[in-house]
Amino acid sequence: MLSGIQPTGSLHIGNYLGALKNWADILNDYYGFFCIVDYHAITVEYDVSQMQKRIMDAAVEYLACGLDPNKCSIFVQSDVRAHTELAWIFNSIIPVAELERMTQYKDKSRKNVENINAALLTYPSLMAADILLYHPDIVPVGEDQEQHVELTRMIVRKFNNRYGEYFKEPDTYHGKVLRILGLDGQNKMSKSLNNHIALSLTAEETEKLIMQKAMTDTNRKLKTDPGNPDICNVYSYHKIFSSEDEQKEVCEGCKNASIGCVQCKRMLAKNINNELAPIRENINKYSNDKDYVYDVLKEGAKNASEVAEKTLYEVRNLMGL
Ligand code: ADP
Ligand code: TRP
């Protein structure tokens, strides 16, 4: 399998449930290539002085979420030159109109009107290169990346048609959680929308954040008002983090007004903190052993480069280059 996450800040529970947890879960069945996609992260404004720290944080968090370097290669995209080279080749295959209809491009260009650069548009060519260099069977990502993987499959078909059968079409792989909503209850949880619960927060910070920012059923003004769990964002998190008994308890308690939002949020915070406790412990452990993390990235880049260079060599041959 191959997957990637941008080093754009501390990872959050959406990244964990939609991506990282699934990667770790299936490492016994698939060898993994996991890429920290720094070249993707420069398509929007970023703080140059923070980039190295963000890459290191991402690597620490990958390891903390259970990616075992004996079963995968963890590496930084810009350490493996073949990615940008194959992306250029794919730019010669993919119609601009296909790139323009990508939801992520439309969203990001709406938010970055000052800087709609060419790399923001051709972002999916680079993502297709990330994927196809390693010939993966599956690409484990959250629902929002489905469109990009579909475009990758189109590139495979176009390439194979023009230059001969070579790449295989990868499938997306989704775990149980496809899309987790942000604390605002309106949009998907995302670093860029600042509606997220970061993995690196302390238990106290997590509880405070949930208390202050997690939206509930806005029609429920008083504790004595009955609420509607089906439109409550906090209940949607309970469905992921709480036992079936607790889900039933808060659902009934909300409907008959015997449990208030504060109590309901406190239960949720406790369950999220329980799930994240071992990850947070690992984040501390690896943050204090940066030399080990650098070694993992160096070894990962070496393994990845070997596979990627071979693919690029074969591609160039097929193309008469
Ligand atoms: P962000 O939107 O926070 O910048 P990324 O775009 O870097 O996150 O996403 C990295 C991975 O995490 C992708 O596989 C993506 O599908 C998954 N992911 C991100 N946000 C969510 C979410 N809210 N729910 C489920 N999966 C998510
Ligand atoms: N585009 C992905 C995102 O925004 C990140 C990414 C880049 C990726 N290259 C990839 C994901 C290759 C999976 C496979 O989340």
What pLDDT shows up at residue 312?
Answer: 98
Q: What is the mean pLDDT of residues 222-247?
A: 93
Cα–Cα dist 30/75, whole Å: 17
What pLDDT shows up at residue 115?
Answer: 86
Model confidence over 2-45: pLDDT tens digits?
999 999 888 999 999 988 999 999 999 999 999 999 999 999 99
Nearest ligand to the CA atom of 139: 2
pLDDT band at residue 181, thresholds of 50, 70 and 90?
very high
Model confidence over 276-320: pLDDT tens digits?
999 999 999 999 999 999 999 999 999 999 999 999 999 999 999
Q: What is the mean pLDDT of residues 51-66?
A: 97
Give me the torsion for CA of 220, 222, 223, 224, rounded to 10°: -100
Distance 251 CA to ligand 1 centre (A): 28
Cα–Cα dist 112/106, whole Å: 10
176 lines ligand 1 (CB under 6 A): no
What pLDDT shows up at residue 142?
Answer: 83
4 lines ligand 2 (CB under 6 A): yes
Residue nearest to atom 24 of ligand 1 (CA): 179
Q: Which two tokens stand for residue 48?
A: 């140059």
CA distances from 173 to 19, 146, 153, 230 (A): 9, 9, 14, 27
Percent of residues, the chain, with pLDDT higher than 70: 100
Q: What is the mean pLDDT of residues 181-196?
A: 92
Residue 249: count other Cβ atoms within 10 Å of its Cβ: 17
Contact at 8 Å (CB) between 139 and 131? yes
What pLDDT shows up at residue 250?
Answer: 95
Q: What is the DSSP letter of 251?
A: H
Residue 305: count other Cβ atoms within 10 Å of its Cβ: 17
Substitution candidate for ligand 2 out of 1, 11, 30, 37 with most atoms within 8 A of CB? 37
Residue 100: count other Cβ atoms within 10 Å of its Cβ: 11
Among candidates 89, 76, 67, which has minimal Cα distance to 7? 76
Q: Where are the beta strands (DSSP E) in the chain?
A: 2-5, 32-36, 72-76, 138-140, 171-173
Give the atom of ligand 2 at the shortest distance from the alpha carbon of 148: 1
145 lines ligand 2 (CB under 6 A): yes
40 lines ligand 2 (CB under 6 A): yes
Give the atom of ligand 1 at the shortest distance from the alpha carbon of 6: 7
pLDDT band at residue 157, thresholds of 50, 70 and 90?
very high
Among candidates 30, 122, 125, which has minimal Cα distance to 87? 125
H or E element: which one contains 307?
helix 290-318
Q: Calculate ∠ Cα 36-39-43, nearest 5°.
A: 125
Model confidence over 241-253: pLDDT tens digits?
999 999 999 999 9
18 lines ligand 1 (CB under 6 A): yes
Q: Calculate ∠ Cα 31-34-38, nearest 5°.
A: 165
Cα–Cα dist 122/126, whole Å: 7
What pLDDT shows up at residue 192?
Answer: 82
Model confidence over 64-122: pLDDT tens digits?
999 999 999 999 999 999 999 999 999 999 999 999 999 999 998 898 888 899 999 99
Substitution candidate for ligand 1 out of 12, 102, 144 with most atoms within 8 A of CB? 144
Q: What is the DSSP letter of 258?
A: S
Assembly ipTM:
0.93
Range in 47-61, 213-227, 268-282 the model is least confident about: 213-227
The separation between CA 222 and the C-alpha centre of its own chain, rounded to angstroms, equals 37
Within 8 A by CB and 6+ apart from 75, the residues are: 33, 34, 35, 36, 297, 300, 301, 303, 304
Residue nearest to atom 10 of ligand 1 (CA): 5
Q: Which residues are catalytically annotated?
A: 108, 188, 191
pLDDT band at residue 218, thresholds of 50, 70 and 90?
confident
Model confidence over 117-136: pLDDT tens digits?
999 999 999 999 999 999 99
Contact at 8 Å (CB) between 236 and 205? no
